[in-house]
Amino acid sequence: MISQDHGNRAPHNWLAYESSDRILEGLTPFYKGVLYDLGAGESPYKEFFRRYTERYIAVDWSDSHHATTADVVANLNEVLPLASEVADTVVSLSVLEHLSEPQTMLNEAFRILKHGGGIVLQVPWQWRIHEAPHDYYRYTPHGLEYLMRKAGFVDIRVEPQAGFFTMMTLKMNYFSLRLILGPWLVRKVIGAVFRAGWYIGQKIAPLLDRLDRDWALEASGYFVTARKP
């Protein structure tokens, strides 16, 4: 577990974070120098990124749904109050879907990166609406590549976070969470039964994902890596 965001890791959704952590750990060659975390929120990955970088800088806006402790307060839909070519690395995790002007953020990420610097993004795909009303978009791999190329990035790689069975298991878990109703004792009994099912499902789903020959078609989300030439 590399994130400190324990509050969001619940019995029904821990697999989403586990799959994300696995990919982030595999991308360590991208983390170097001065790292800017755009839309950092509560900076749950701060200590993880600091293992590989010289400096971690959190950027977020004042109206965040999270208890943000941003080093730079800025609206990611607008030009950032940062000089050009100050970052060796830019990361932005589960942020792009919340931006009304996503191309602006990608353009700004490109601007603040040094030449040769890298960017790591994560976005949901088949995922429920969250942090409403600031939940605007879902992106296909083709849409992500288009936006990244438009911003100027090269060596773009889009990786699905998991396959069909993980995606469906998580969606069913979120739906069943809404079925825990009734008096306290009834909710406790239903919750206990569901928790057992959630645990088993999330253990089996990654194994069943091996049957899915094209994860990108039914992914819960995508990771994108690219660099500034």
Cα(48)–Cα(99) distance, rounded to whole angstroms? Answer: 25
**Residue recorded with tokens 């749950």:** 44
Fold entry, domain 6-163+214-227: Rossmann fold (3.40.50)
Report the percent of the chain where pLDDT is more than 90: 90
* pLDDT of res. 62: 73
- In 103-212, which ranges are E strands? 113-124, 154-160
Q: Could you read off the pLDDT of 70-113 as tens digits, one per residue?
A: 999 999 999 999 999 999 999 999 999 999 999 999 999 999 99
Using alpha carbons only, how large is the chain's radius of gyration in Å? Answer: 18
* pLDDT of res. 7: 58
Q: Could you read off the pLDDT of 55-67 as tens digits, one per residue?
A: 999 999 876 666 6
State mean pLDDT over 105-125. 98
Domain boundaries, the chain: 6-163+214-227, 165-207
Closest CA to 202 of 1, 4, 17: 17
State yes or no: pLDDT of 199 exceeds 90.
yes
Q: Could you read off the pLDDT of 156-183 as tens digits, one per residue?
A: 999 999 999 999 999 999 999 999 999 9
* pLDDT of res. 53: 98
State yes or no: pLDDT of 152 exceeds 80.
yes
SS3 helix, strand, coil % of the chain, rounded to 5? 40, 20, 40
Residue 69 dihedral angles phi and psi, to the nearest 5°: -120, 55
